[in-house]
Amino acid sequence: MDKPSRNLRDYLIVTAAYWAFTLSDSALRMIILLELHSRGMSPLELATLFLFYEAAGVVTNLGGGWIGARFGLRTTLLTGLALQALVLGILTGPGAWLRVSSLITAQAASGVAKDLTKMSAKSYVRMVVPSEEAGKLMRWVAILTGSKNTLKGVGFFLGAILLFYLDYQWACGFLLIGILTALIATALSLPAAQNHSSSKVKIKHLISNDPRINWLSAARVFLFGSRDAWFVVALPVYLATHGGWSHIAIGAFLALWVTGYGLAQISAPNWVGGASKGNTRPPGPNQLGIWTWTLTLPMIALCSALYLDAPPGPVLVIALAIFGVIFASASTIHSYLIVQYAKQDEVSLRVGFYYAANALGRLMGTLLSGWVYQSAGLGLNGLLACLLTSTLLVILATLATTALRRVDAAR
């Protein structure tokens, strides 16, 4: 088998493992969120629980990029899958283990597992497609990222279904079987050394010295903070406590939103540029700035409608659907630019640094989602406050993108 065919085969194996992990991780997140909310945990306590999940991601992406550069992507991928299996094994144990301390530890370990797996898959696309093939690179990045988010939505629904029909321990046990199957299959089929560096990678190399990557990462922090400021805790808790939605309905809605968001990412190259035949000018910072700024429109419209006492249910569904399509477009350009900017011999380092910023944004958004919702008085007032916070973060993301456009034009 020649090298391009071998690289493609290995990339498909990595991607399949990433898909299996995504289903497991998103289902587990929904199971824990709904189970602990039903046990009386407050929004701020729920946000605190997930903070450890996101905080672990910041460190993991930096360290994982270094490990991937030194020892290969196979090492980081299998470690991520094994950690997730360990987490699910713990959570499948006796019911007495379902305490805040054990769940915090489990969520932190799951955050490490997720980002090791994601960094491996996102790095590998750069090894398969040369940067000069801009259109092809854009399509592959969009397919990988979009399919992951589509499966994430399916995972949310899977978690709600499992918790509805099975008890907590059996639901986690079902996920454990799936992730163990993926771990064994990947270990047996993926060759030993993938993308390891022939030279010693020093710790100082973890931090990017490319201002384009630094500003892109800053924009990523605020962009994903803007999403999670309403998505992680505020919206599901509001729907459960004030919207009268069942666990199944909440899981289905969040699943449909994330699935639609993923499908929009897969299709986004058709309207943001870079994927159509004959298109040799892929999207850059200018297009990213426009799509990021456009996110303020549905948020302002939604906040205005809720303030004027419009029916919350239909307004939320319509406005957040529009937000999802625009957000998917901006996120697709983000994901393309980081693999385009990264040099091939340091791709895992740069992707790791970038997704550490991504995890930092989710960490910030998760904290704000619980704290702002609870501080603003819960209910509709709390949700409205979270949406206004999200709008402010979108504006900050737009400003960071403006700085990126300037440094990119100066090169």
Nearest residue to 126 (alpha-carbon basis) of 359, 277, 332, 335: 335
Question: Residue 231 sits in a domain of what CATH number?
Answer: 1.20.1250.20
Higher per-residue pLDDT: 288 or 359: 288
- For residue 403, what pLDDT is reported? 94
Question: Can you give the pLDDT at residue 82?
Answer: 93
pLDDT of residue 278: 47
Lowest-pLDDT choice from 6-10, 255-259, 407-411: 6-10
- What pLDDT was estimated at residue 398? 96
What's the confidence (pLDDT) of residue 198?
46
Binned at pLDDT 50, 70 and 90, residue 232 comes out as: confident
Whether 38 maps to a domain, the answer reads: yes
What pLDDT, on the 0 to 100 scale, is given for residue 185?
92
Amino acid letter for position 269: P
Model pLDDT for residues 235-272, shown as the tens digit of each residue: 888 888 888 888 778 878 887 888 888 889 888 888 88
Q: What percent of the chain has pLDDT over 70?
A: 82
What is the reported pLDDT for 322? Answer: 94
Ordered DSSP codes for 326-383: HHHHHHHHHHHHHHHHS-GGGHHHHHHHHHHHHHHHHHHHHHHHHHHHHHTTSHHHHH
Give residue 395's pLDDT. Answer: 96
Residue 94 lies in a domain: yes
Q: Is residue 289 part of a domain?
A: yes
| Overall average pLDDT of the 223-235 stretch | 89
For the record, the structure tokens of 212 come out as: 């384009």
Q: Is residue 365 part of a domain?
A: yes
Are 334 and 223 a contacting pair, CB within 8 Å? yes
Tell me: the pLDDT tens digits for 155-166?
888 888 888 788
Asked if the model's pLDDT at residue 134 lies above 80, the reply is no
Residue 224 lies in a domain: yes
Interval 16-28 mean pLDDT: 89
Q: What's the total number of domains in the chain?
A: 1
pLDDT in the model for residue 56: 75
Residue 271 lies in a domain: yes
Mean model confidence pLDDT for the chain = 81
Q: Give me the helix-helix angle, 3-38 and 100-128, nearest 10°.
A: 160
CA proximity to 286, closest of 165, 158, 403: 403
Give tens-digit pLDDT for 326-365. Answer: 999 999 899 888 888 877 656 667 777 888 888 889 889 9
Q: What is the pLDDT of residue 326?
A: 95
pLDDT of 301 higher than 70: yes
Spatial distance between the Cα atoms of 34 and 167, rounded to a whole number of angstroms: 12
Question: Rounded distance, CA 405 to CA 407, Å?
Answer: 6
Please report whether residue 318 resides in a domain: yes
> What is the structure's pLDDT at 283?
84
Res. 277: pLDDT tops 50 = no
Closest CA to 145 of 330, 13, 282: 330
Question: Residue 232: which domain range?
Answer: 3-193+203-409
Is 198 inside a domain boundary?
no
Lowest pLDDT segment from 123-127, 178-182, 222-226, 266-270: 123-127
Give residue 348's pLDDT: 67
Higher pLDDT: 120 or 83? It is 83
Question: What's residue 386's pLDDT?
Answer: 93
Lowest-pLDDT range of 22-36, 87-101, 381-395: 87-101
The residues, ordered by sequence, that sit 6+ positions from 166 with a Cβ below 8 Å of its Cβ are 174
Tell me the pLDDT tens digit for each residue of 42-51: 766 776 777 7
Query: 304 falls in which pLDDT band (50, 70, 90)?
Result: very high
